[in-house]
Structure 1
Amino acid sequence: MGVDYYNILKVGRNANEDDLKKAYRRLVMRWHPDKNPSNKKEAEAKFKQISEAYDVLSDPQKRQIYDLYGEEALKFDQVSPSSSGPNPNPNPSFRFNPRDAEDIFAEFFGGSDGGGRSRVFGEGYFRNVGNQPPRKAPAIENKFPCSLEDLYKGSKKKMKISRTVPDAHGKPRTVEEILAIDIKPGWKKGTKITFPEKGNQEPGIIPADLVFVVDEKPHAVYKRDGNDLVVNQRISLLDALTGKILNLTTLDGRNLPVPVTDIIRPGYEVVIPSEGMPISKELGKKGNLRIKFDIKFPSRLTAEQKSDLQRVLS
């Protein structure tokens, strides 16, 4: 295959975009020529090799040709334009145009001096860093309020964020971005959704991860208790003694009739299996719905009513 770009970046063949970016950052911090003044010739060769590997693997078209046919097919027109053998390039309309290593570096760390050299170093990018990779800014956490209905059924939400990034000249500018959050049924308060490196970009610092922490909004009827749902139902003393059919509206909008035939006493609870919250880690399973009762006693009784009760209850 010729040059093994995956081995150069020390990543697997199934590496995704984030994997490639992390590998490039780590290696380029070690091999940039300005970091190796005593061994500049070797560093320049390594720096260009790392940049070329990232350029190919981060571009879907280049990567597809490389994965299928290797480096020779990718660079056919550069390597042997007058070859008398068969053209190994599977896409004759494709031309491999390698990007400048310093241009790639400037995209990651901000700006150049106009002649291709990165200005990052003059701004103290490696100051106090030594041979260590750049430090990463602490994660930024934000509350993400969700209704009980969203956490019951699942939902898709979009969050608009603003952050600071360097422009082509290295000057900070504010950009806005829309992040999509896919709420899974059964998520609990405290669940974290992480967007890697979506914080502000500053020289010498890897941007912070942006973390949204699920917070449950209070509900007018239901209260969550782990995987269970709890509802408090106030009924009259008559209904407590003679029975009643309760009609509840579930969090997904269904009408749920609940016949209560037992005599309701203080502390009595009706449990309906599998009508609680979805269990996110157990597909298709739900907790229970628990109905607690508050008995409303009459404020006064006539003498005749008292006599009737004594006769019935004695």
Structure 2
Amino acid sequence: MSKRDYYEILGVEKTANEDDLKKAFRRLAMKYHPDRNPDADAQDKFKEAKEAYEILCDQKKRAMYDQYGHAAFEQGGGRGGGFHGADVGDIFGDIFGDIFGGGRAGGGRPRRGSDLRYVIELDLEEAVFGVERTIEVPTLVACKGCEGSGSKDGKTSTCSTCRGHGRVRMQQGIFSVQQVCPHCAGSGKSISNPCKDCRGEGRVEDERTLQVKIPAGVDSGDRIRLAAQGEAGPAGSEPGDLYVEVRVREHSIFQREGDDLYCELPIRFTQAVLGAELKVPTLEGEATITLPQETQTGKLFRLRGKGVKNVRSGRLGDLHCRVVIETPVKLTKRQRELMEELEGTFEGAEPGAHTPRANSWFDGVKQFWERMTS
């Protein structure tokens, strides 16, 4: 059976560069590698892609293939030579790191301390105007007894496992990958006289007290990164970072949507009918809203620039006040008489003259029932 074209196997053009070839092979390796695809034909497809990549990534072999095709490698001329044009560790270090326990990416660096997450709760005013808080974070800190080195006397020797390189090469079938040395955590050093306080780890459990400055305008979900304030790394290696995540408590008056604030403004029935000037609260003091006559419930009044200052752009949001008309309660005898007298004046009036929304609503209901019964 004739062999498929190598470019066709990888799904690339003949003008593809080395990066294009590598990306194409990665994609096929992810799909057909036996450790990930148990199908019977997956292994054959993987070998086919491997062979194509081996040839095309070697400049000399690729030139021969482009000129003579598969005939250039008959009699073993191009087979069995290994990956001369590419390092298999480079190819699979990123792809199969989760299978083999770590790839080339980051494999040469000592294991750093873990990043930490701390949730801080703020009132709306604190989030809007900014605040400085003292927080206490339980974490691993550098051991004071050995100054984070892990050695009681400060002396270290070359790690016998990785011979000081900090990395070890692991063979997994046809793949050879590098990972951080499990014995020295990538430092390349071993400790013969470990510190008794930290047992050679170079770090101990403690509580770190920090001052955190929260910028004005933050909202729930925003994070503040404090570099090198996470867990201390083992045996003096690089510490992790601390991420302070903001969570804003619910407010009794305002609701926040982005940079805008919303609040409800309860008014009396007579104020809605006759109009009024009302004082409304803002985060910076009082403001005045003028209600026109015959204001309907649900109407929004916008106060420009009375919202939240955006933490990134500095743009000011708005405050939106939603009118809610309250039904009078606990009326006096005289108040009830006046209400009854007012209600009497509506009798015999033209439909919709005083209640246009109610009139249109009833018309809608009537049309709905007519459609339902037709």
What TM-score does the superposition give when structure 2 sets the normalisation length?
0.44
Q: Compared with structure 1, are the counterparts of its residues 262 and 140 closer, same or farther at alpha carbon in structure 2 (3 Å cutoff)?
A: farther
Retained in 2: the 8 A contact 1:268–1:293?
yes
Of 241, 245, 249, which aligns to 2:273? Answer: 241
What is the match of residue 307 of structure 1? 344
What is the match of residue 200 of structure 1? 231
Note if 1:290 corresponds to 2:300.
Answer: no
**Higher RCO, Cα 8 Å, sep 6+:** 2
Of 136, 140, 143, which aligns to 2:116? Answer: 140
> C-alpha separation between the residues in 2 aligned to 1:266 and 1:250?
21
> C-alpha separation between the residues in 2 aligned to 1:304 and 1:184?
58
What is the match of residue 36 of structure 2? none
Of 128, 131, 143, which aligns to 1:152? Answer: 128
What is the match of residue 17 of structure 2? none
Deviation at 1:202, TM superposition (A): 4.8
> C-alpha separation between the residues in 2 aligned to 1:279 and 1:202?
36
What is the match of residue 25 of structure 1? none
What TM-score does the superposition give when structure 1 sets the normalisation length?
0.51
Amino acid paired to 1:272 = L
Tell me the secondary structure at the aligned position of residue 341 of structure 2.
helix
Retained in 2: the 8 A contact 1:148–1:251?
no
User: For structure 1, which runs of at least 5 residues remain unmatched after alignment?
Assistant: 1-127
Q: Compared with structure 1, are the counterparts of its residues 311 and 280 closer, same or farther at alpha carbon in structure 2 (3 Å cutoff)?
A: farther
Amino acid paired to 2:286 = N
> C-alpha separation between the residues in 2 aligned to 1:184 and 1:199?
21
Q: Deviations over 1:270-292 (max 9, x none)?
A: 01111111122233x31111001
Identity %: 19
Deviation at 1:186, TM superposition (A): 1.3
Tell me the secondary structure at the aligned position of residue 281 of structure 1.
coil
What is the match of residue 255 of structure 2? 223
Deviation at 1:217, TM superposition (A): 0.9
Tell me the secondary structure at the aligned position of residue 344 of structure 2.
helix
Retained in 1: the 8 A contact 2:112–2:234?
no
> C-alpha separation between the residues in 1 aligned to 2:268 and 2:347?
18
Amino acid paired to 1:152 = V
> C-alpha separation between the residues in 2 aligned to 1:195 and 1:262?
54
Deviation at 1:190, TM superposition (A): 1.2
Q: Compared with structure 1, are the counterparts of its residues 213 and 207 closer, same or farther at alpha carbon in structure 2 (3 Å cutoff)?
A: same
Tell me the secondary structure at the aligned position of residue 289 of structure 2.
strand
> C-alpha separation between the residues in 2 aligned to 1:266 and 1:249?
19
Q: Compared with structure 1, are the counterparts of its residues 245 and 309 closer, same or farther at alpha carbon in structure 2 (3 Å cutoff)?
A: farther
Tell me the secondary structure at the aligned position of residue 234 of structure 2.
coil
Aligned pairs for 1:2-81 within 5 A:
none
Tell me the secondary structure at the aligned position of residue 290 of structure 1.
strand
Q: Compared with structure 1, are the counterparts of its residues 244 and 195 closer, same or farther at alpha carbon in structure 2 (3 Å cutoff)?
A: same
Aligned pairs for 1:267-282 within 5 A:
267-282=298-313
Amino acid paired to 2:290 = P
Aligned pairs for 1:73-92 within 5 A:
none
What is the match of residue 217 of structure 2? 186
Q: Compared with structure 1, are the counterparts of its residues 262 and 290 closer, same or farther at alpha carbon in structure 2 (3 Å cutoff)?
A: farther
Tell me the secondary structure at the aligned position of residue 136 of structure 1.
coil
Tell me the secondary structure at the aligned position of residue 304 of structure 1.
helix
Note if 1:162 corresponds to 2:112.
Answer: no
Retained in 2: the 8 A contact 1:196–1:210?
yes
Retained in 1: the 8 A contact 2:273–2:295?
yes
**Larger C-alpha radius of gyration, 1 or 2?**
2
